[in-house]
Amino acid sequence: MEILVCVKRVPTVGGKIAVTPDGQEVDTRMSGFSISPHEECAVEEAVQITERAGGSVTVLTLGPEAAIEQLRDALALGAGRAVLLETDGREWGPIATAAAIAAEVRAHPYDLVLLGNEAADTGDYQVGIRLAHELGWPVATGIKNLSVSAGGVVARREYRGVEEAYSLPLPAVITVKEGINLPRYPSLPGRLRAKRAAIERSAPDWAAEGLRKETLRVPASSKHQATVLGHGADAVPELVRVLDELGVLS
């Protein structure tokens, strides 16, 4: 099974997120970067599938040169080949992103393309679906359980208390969500292999899209510092009173 996993480089943020003064980007002066969480699981899923069924995993990212770091992260986890679709730092919309990925997919005999359900930063929810339409492949999204057989895949997710199962023939596009697996940590030999691995690079052309970002901002917080009801178990009577006031005690 030949699998392509698409990952995105996103800042790792703590308990607070800040925006650059020009309102164009997240302030990452003190941030590290990582693979967007759902996609970490996509990498793990792809590696597990090939460990069971054979084949190989290619990891792809569209991003700045620095995103090689995330490609190497994926290589360290077991991907065998890495492709950088290099950008000049401009933010790419989902339509152009899907088109650029589609070009890579068409050039190689992939059976399966895995993506995250949505990127942590932009939250567009559409690259996987647009990619599938570009390719004319079936797609299932938000997948939390995947079983692969020769003929196809069965992808499962839960929605409003109901389990949905999708049977897709291959080749197919699947977007996964965190929880589908518990991603492994990179081993030392894995890291070293990743360090040595070659990165294939190309630079697709950016294209404008109909949805255009103007500024980013931190929402005004309506909350203030919490009212402290008390300390330890002594606070319980006060806590019960508040619960009652909020109407959650039937």
Partner 1 sequence: MTDFPARASAVIIGAGIVGNSLVHHLALLGWRDLVLVDKGPMPNPGGSTGHASNFIFPIEYSKMMFELTTDSTEQYKELGVFTQSGGIEVARTAARMMELRRRCSQAKSWGIPAEVLTPGEVNKLVPYLDESVILGGAYFPTVGVVDSLRGGTLMREQAQRSGALTVLAGTEVHGISVDGGAGGRVRGVTTSAGEIETGNVVICCGVWSPRVARMAGARLALTPVVHQMISVGPIALFADTPGEISYPIVRDVDTNMYERQHGGDMEVGSYAHRPIVVPPDEIPSIEESVLSPTELPFTQDDFDPQLAQALELMPELLGDERAGIRYAINGLISMTPDGHPILGEMPEARGLWAAAASWIKEGPGCGRAVAELMSGRVPAVDVHEADAARFYPHQRTTAHVRARAREGFNKMYGIVHPAEQWESSRPLRVSPVYERERALGAFFYETAGWERPFWYTSNAPLLDRYAGRLMERPAEWESRWWSPVINAEHLAMRDACALVDLSAFAILEITGPGALDAVQNLSVVQVNVANGRVVYTSWLDENGGFRADLTVMRLGADRFRVVTGGATGQSDAKWILDHLPVGAALADLTSAWTTIGLWGPRARDVLASVTADDVSHAGFPFGTCREIEIGNVVVLASRISYVGELGWELHAPIEQGARLWDTLWEAGQPHGLVPAGIGVYGTTGRLEKGYRAFGAELTPDYTLTEAGMTRPKVKEQPFIGKEAYLRQRQEPPCAILCTLTVDSHASADGTPRYMLGGEPILSPAGERLVDAKGRPSYVTSAGSGPSVGKHLLMAYLPPEYAVEGGSLLVEYMGEQYPVTVAVAGSTPLFDPQNERVRS
Partner 2 sequence: MTVVCLVELDGAEPADASLRALTLARALGDTSVQTVVFAESASVPAAALADYGVSDVYAVEPGALEGYAPQAWARVLARLAAETGATAVLAAGTDRGNEVLAHLGAITGLPMAANCTIVTPDGGQTHRLVRHRWAGLLLEDAVMEAPIALFTVATDAVAPVPAQTPAAVAVHVHKPELAEGDLRVRAAESPAGAGGASLATARVVVGGGRGVGGPDGFAPLEELAGLLGGVVGVSRVVTSEGWRPHRQQVGQTGTKITPELYLACGISGAIQHIAGCAGARHIIAINTDPGAPILAHADYAVIGDLHQVIPALVAALRAR
Positions in 49-108 near partner 2 (CB under 8 A)? 93-95, 98
The SS3 call for residue 47 is helix
Q: Give me the residue label for tokens 């699981």.
A: 41
Least Cβ distance, residue 81 to partner 2 (angstroms): 27
**Residue 90 binds which entry of partner 2, partner 1, none, CB below 5-8 Å type-dependent:** none
* Backbone φ, ψ for residue 40 (5° rounding): -55, -40
Please count the residues of the chain: 250
- Does position 72 bind partner 1 by CB under 8 A? yes
Least Cβ distance, residue 196 to partner 1 (angstroms): 10
Instruction: Tell me if 172 sits within 8 A of 137, measured CB to CB.
Output: yes
* Backbone φ, ψ for residue 106 (5° rounding): -65, -30
CA distance 7 to 144: 17
Stretch that binds partner 1, among 10-18, 87-95, 105-113, 167-175 (CB under 8 A): 10-18
Between 162 and 188, CB nearer to partner 1: 188
Instruction: Tell me if 176 sits within 8 A of 42, measured CB to CB.
Output: yes
Site for partner 2 in 135-194 (CB under 8 A): 136, 138-142, 144, 157-169, 177-179, 182
Of the residues 184, 200, 206, 216, which one makes contact with partner 1 according to CB under 8 A: 184
Q: How many residues bind partner 2 (CB under 8 A)?
A: 84
Least Cβ distance, residue 15 to partner 1 (angstroms): 4
- Does position 9 bind partner 2 by CB under 8 A? no
- Does position 20 bind partner 2 by CB under 8 A? no
- Does position 52 bind partner 1 by CB under 8 A? no
Torsion-angle region of 160 (φ positive above 0: left; ψ -120 to 50: alpha; else: beta): left
Instruction: Tell me if 61 sits within 8 A of 43, measured CB to CB.
Output: no
CA of residue 179 relative to chain centroid, distance = 12
The residues binding partner 1 (CB under 8 A) are 12-16, 18, 29-33, 69, 72-73, 184-192, 195, 228
